[in-house]
Amino acid sequence: MPETTIVAGVFARGGSKGVPNKNLRIVGGQSLIQRAVVQAKQARHVTRVLCSTDSPQIADEARRFGAEAPWLRPAELAQDTSREWDAWCHMVKYLREQGDDPRYLMAVPCVAPLRTLDDLNKCTDLAASSDADVIMAVSDAHKNPWFNMVTIDDATQQVRLVNEPAQRIYNRQAAPQVYDVSTVAFIIKCDYLLTATSIYDGETRAVVLPKTHCVDIDTEDDIAYAEFLLARRDKEST
């Protein structure tokens, strides 16, 4: 198996409607961009950390904590409707143009401040040992499409389970296990990234993490919850 080399990418747009200037917000004593850059730099197998952003302020903050920010992201890759996948491809193409050809790109979203370095290392170690096309982090889901997730028909208002099991399931424990996709990390083989269109098209593996490590910052309430969990974590570690 080829040597495992991973370039970490911190992808952080300047625009955010739910939480203005979200990636620069201080959560648990650190800005979200700072926390992502520092953790990425410390992760096993990571050779470089780059920041992809359309914001000069975010680029400056990323550089301050050791990331490279050699360009501002093109406007067409920084819209509300832009695919993150295209920003990932843009970074890999840049690296190859500069003569760097890592085996994997690891996207380290800023919006997961409860992520730990150990969580990242579990993901990078799985990439190194499995040679999978994609490594993603997940957590146990509280809702289950075979038991307590439903659709409502627009015309008839009829309520149906999202997935109808062959036999009715009467408790959550009897339903097939499902997981929530987290924003802790996504590790993608670079060759695969430039030819596929989805993380689910190839050999995809998952690292299952605690739910409390996978809080995704999207609203002010999420920030308040993250602050509470980080404070509790700090208290438990002292």
Q: Mind listing the pLDDT tens digit of every residue in the chain (238 residues)? A: 457 799 999 999 987 777 889 999 999 999 999 999 999 999 999 999 999 999 999 999 999 999 999 999 998 998 888 899 999 999 999 999 999 999 999 999 999 999 999 999 999 999 999 999 999 999 999 999 999 999 999 999 999 999 999 899 998 889 999 999 999 999 999 999 999 999 999 999 999 999 999 999 999 999 999 999 999 999 898 7
The pLDDT assigned to 80 comes to: 85
pLDDT of residue 181: 98
Q: What is the DSSP string of 39-91?
A: HHHHSTTEEEEEEE-S-HHHHHHHHHTT-B--SPPPGGGSSTT--HHHHHHHH
pTM for the structure as a whole = 0.94
Helix (H) or strand (E) holding 119: helix 117-130
Residue 157: count other Cβ atoms within 10 Å of its Cβ. 7
Pick 6-141+179-237's CATH classification: 3.30.479.30, 3.90.550.10, 3.40.50.970, 3.40.50.11600: 3.90.550.10
CA distances from 31 to 21, 71, 94, 181, 212 (A): 11, 21, 26, 23, 19
Residue 189 CA: distances (Å) to CA of 12, 34, 132, 181:
21, 25, 8, 19
The confidence score (pLDDT) of residue 76 equals 92
In whole angstroms, how far apart are CA 76 and each of 54, 79, 82?
A: 10, 6, 7
Q: Where exactly are the structural domains of the chain?
A: 6-141+179-237, 144-177
Q: What is the pLDDT of residue 1?
A: 46
What whole-number distance in Å separates Cα of residue 86 and Cα of residue 124?
Answer: 22
